[in-house]
Chains A and B, each alone.
Chain A
């Protein structure tokens, strides 16, 4: 082989190796870190795999926020206007978390049906609705628009 060929072969080999390593890393990371999004209806129907980390989104039901014992743990109901689940979170809620607001929570489902969140996201614009949440919210039957 001429030196030029050798060099080119080396370069190509190096690139294949680099890209291979990257793809392997990416696939490995992908498999363990993809997070699926479910609506409360899907959660109630038992769609999320047991014990899996996933995200759930919906509207915080008005009047459902409770702080048992005035401590750091908060419980609230999350709805897509068809089904409702209970979410529990310990810590400080984001600024824009409030009743009637669309939020996304990340966490796991406990066997008793309570969703234990380790992260709650509410977005920074009061008119903003996370696209996933906007997609699943259905208007309740019989709700009229206008006054």
Chain B
């Protein structure tokens, strides 16, 4: 009964979305206020329907209702409760439900915080979001209904994919989707502006916090995904240039470009048409990401089932979104073109470079990701584009980006002088050069990659700090100057500082990691990176829904025991898949990582993978810095004032009419 209720709620949601997508838009075009006023209640109704549908599916999972096919395929009575809940988005149908639910949440958020927007604008924005909802609801109802029943119901479910039974993976999809779907707000604002033909600083100021929040979620989602891969996939890597990773990384790159170009549009009224185009691309790439991940065209961890109807639907949907927006853009963009002058030495110029580099990087990743698909479709042969390609393209394109970031933030708008910047950049340049040359000597050998990485990280960090110092140095009341500095500035600095942390992590991890697959019998040991790994033995243990072989290894260094590690080899009872559960001794300066391979011979020996990973936590810490910076920037006072001022204006209007 409850699953039928969920299914019914989905159909109802589609009906509401149809109203939301059409009536307010027509009202806005014809100036009929009553029609426009339908947008907000429709957004609420849509969210209610989605909440019922989502709740119904969660209910089916919690109550082990295996008569629902999706539950039977992805759950089990022995599955711990928290993973039953995360299993709701563990596979294709449920993750679409999550997509649509998150979209309805964003829509309501826009209608709540957008009270101060001109009514016509708000109606158009909500209408466009309604159209996106229609797409996803149709997709679910036509090809991927999560509430489909199976008769007769199986007695036991097939269990959740063991790889997904991990806290990182439980949180990764919701974060990622908050980001993906969040870009639909920026997209809706862009389309609304194109329909309206008016695009001013106020528009940029409105869509900016939304974009920043979406970007923040996407940053968190990608960081979590990387952390999960490191923990769960058992081979100690943090990024594989897997097509699915690329699918989430491309919208992030374009979204980052969008965040920066919105700044120019808000502050200087420049880059308007470009900003709109970026908003369209960021959202299109989010859709493409969903398409690549969920249609099964890619060989990947995430590609579950292959169903041509699904792939075709998303492809058509993508065609409508991209094609329609570009047509609208071609028709309307001349109306929003900006004519603003700036000198080659100015913040605008550096942000232009930033945008160019980010977009070109995203384009080359897109090329590498789609090329095998295109070649295969043409029947020329089967090829794959591996990590070497992506590294060869990504690193040279992003080095100048990191080089410019601190300096760009210090530059003034419109026009600046190189001498002034040089005065600020002198000491960071000297210190970074020195640090790059000397600090790698602290590790076991000097390499130019480590030198470049450390030097660059210092340069980014120090120029960012210098930018902060510039706010108070030489002022009569430095503390007051710091207090007056807007929160958005602190947010930006923190996010840029995150790049420094991130670059340090990558440079040191890739250069100084040590890895060894060895055969270890009980009592034997192996020395890696100054750490002695002693194998004590491997014994069976029982988990709630799995059996495991658990190894015990001690790690010694300089006569002191550093850690006792318990890596496991699990076999889940239902799916019978073996799973490597690595044991990690985490630290700020290094991780020690042990994973069990398989038993060898009869003396209790196992093949064991040992890793020494210096500074790997810095990679994810960098992502966290960026996300927190984004949050600070999005909650800047001037956006909150915007909401409060509008609320006050509304109150006054209500009092006036009363």
Chain A's nearest CB lies how many Å from the CB of B485? 31
Q: Which of B360, B361, B382, B579 has the most CB of A within 10 A?
A: B382
CA gap between A14 and B576 in the complex, in Å: 57
Residues of A within 8 Å of B447, CB to CB, are: none
Q: Does A139 contact B (CB under 8 A)?
A: no
CA gap between A28 and B364 in the complex, in Å: 12
Smallest CB-CB separation from A104: which chain B residue?
A: B299
Residues of A within 8 Å of B339, CB to CB, are: 4
Residue in contact with A93 in the complex, picked from B363, B385, B598, CB distance below 8 Å: B598
Q: Is the CB of B344 within 8 A of A10?
A: yes
Q: Does A82 contact B (CB under 8 A)?
A: no
Chain B's nearest CB lies how many Å from the CB of A93? 7
CA gap between A33 and B389 in the complex, in Å: 6
Q: Mark A124-147 against chain B: 1 for CB-CB distance below 8 A, else 0.
A: 111010111001000000000000
Q: Mark A86-127 against chain B: 1 for CB-CB distance below 8 A, else 0.
A: 000011110110000000000000000000000000011110
Known A25-B397, A67-B600; judge A92-B386 contact (CB<8 A).
Answer: no
Q: Is the CB of A132 within 8 A of B382?
A: yes
Q: Does A52 contact B (CB under 8 A)?
A: no
Q: Is the CB of A92 within 8 A of B609?
A: yes
B359-412: which residues lie under 8 A (CB-CB) from chain A?
360-361, 363-364, 367-368, 371, 381-386, 388-389, 392-393, 396-397
Residues of A within 8 Å of B163, CB to CB, are: 124
Q: Is the CB of B517 within 8 A of A55?
A: no
Q: Does B575 contact A (CB under 8 A)?
A: yes
CA gap between A26 and B392 in the complex, in Å: 8
Known A25-B397, A36-B381; judge A132-B299 contact (CB<8 A).
Answer: yes
Tally of B interface residues using CB under 8 Å: 51
Q: Does B29 contact A (CB under 8 A)?
A: no
Q: Does A29 contact B (CB under 8 A)?
A: yes
Tally of A interface residues using CB under 8 Å: 42
Q: Is the CB of A22 within 8 A of B360?
A: yes
Residues of A within 8 Å of B381, CB to CB, are: 36-37
Q: Does A44 contact B (CB under 8 A)?
A: no
Q: Does B597 contact A (CB under 8 A)?
A: yes
Q: Does B341 contact A (CB under 8 A)?
A: yes
Chain B's nearest CB lies how many Å from the CB of A88? 14
Residue in contact with B385 in the complex, picked from A3, A10, A33, A91, CB distance below 8 Å: A33
Q: Does B555 contact A (CB under 8 A)?
A: no
Residue in contact with B393 in the complex, picked from A18, A25, A130, A131, CB distance below 8 Å: A25
CA gap between A21 and B607 in the complex, in Å: 45
Q: Is the CB of B578 within 8 A of A96?
A: yes
Residue in contact with B396 in the complex, picked from A25, A55, A126, CB distance below 8 Å: A25
Smallest CB-CB separation from A92: which chain B residue?
A: B597
Residues of A within 8 Å of B361, CB to CB, are: 22
Smallest CB-CB separation from A15: which chain B residue?
A: B356
Q: Mark B200-213 against chain A: 1 for CB-CB distance below 8 A, else 0.
A: 00000000000000
Q: Is the CB of B364 within 8 A of A25?
A: yes
Q: Is the CB of A130 within 8 A of B299?
A: yes
Q: Is the CB of B383 within 8 A of A36?
A: yes
Q: Mark A38-58 against chain B: 1 for CB-CB distance below 8 A, else 0.
A: 000000000000000001000
Residue in contact with A37 in the complex, picked from B344, B367, B383, CB distance below 8 Å: B383
Q: Does A63 contact B (CB under 8 A)?
A: no
Q: Mark B239-278 against chain A: 1 for CB-CB distance below 8 A, else 0.
A: 0000000000000000000000000000000000000000
Known A7-B341, A92-B595, A92-B609; judge A37-B363 contact (CB<8 A).
Answer: no
B487-532: which residues lie under 8 A (CB-CB) from chain A?
517-519
B577-598: which residues lie under 8 A (CB-CB) from chain A?
577-580, 595, 597-598
Q: Is the CB of B388 within 8 A of A26?
A: no
Q: Does B439 contact A (CB under 8 A)?
A: no
Residues of A within 8 Å of B234, CB to CB, are: 95
Chain A's nearest CB lies how many Å from the CB of B47? 34
Residues of B within 8 Å of A37, CB to CB, are: 381-384
Residues of A within 8 Å of B383, CB to CB, are: 34-37
Residues of B within 8 Å of A71, CB to CB, are: 519, 600
Q: Mark B305-335 against chain A: 1 for CB-CB distance below 8 A, else 0.
A: 0000000000000000000000000000000
Q: Is the CB of B386 within 8 A of A72?
A: no
Known A11-B352, A29-B393, A33-B389; judge A124-B384 contact (CB<8 A).
Answer: no
Q: A67-B600, A92-B598 are in contact. List 17 more A-B contacts (CB 8 A).
A: A3-B341, A18-B357, A19-B360, A25-B392, A25-B396, A25-B397, A26-B393, A34-B383, A35-B386, A72-B518, A72-B600, A92-B517, A92-B595, A93-B597, A126-B576, A128-B303, A132-B382
List 7 A-B residue pairs with CB atoms under 8 Å apart, sorted by A's residue number: A14-B352, A18-B357, A22-B361, A33-B389, A37-B383, A124-B161, A135-B382
Nearest 6 interchain pairs by C-beta: A29-B392, A92-B597, A70-B601, A37-B382, A33-B389, A33-B388
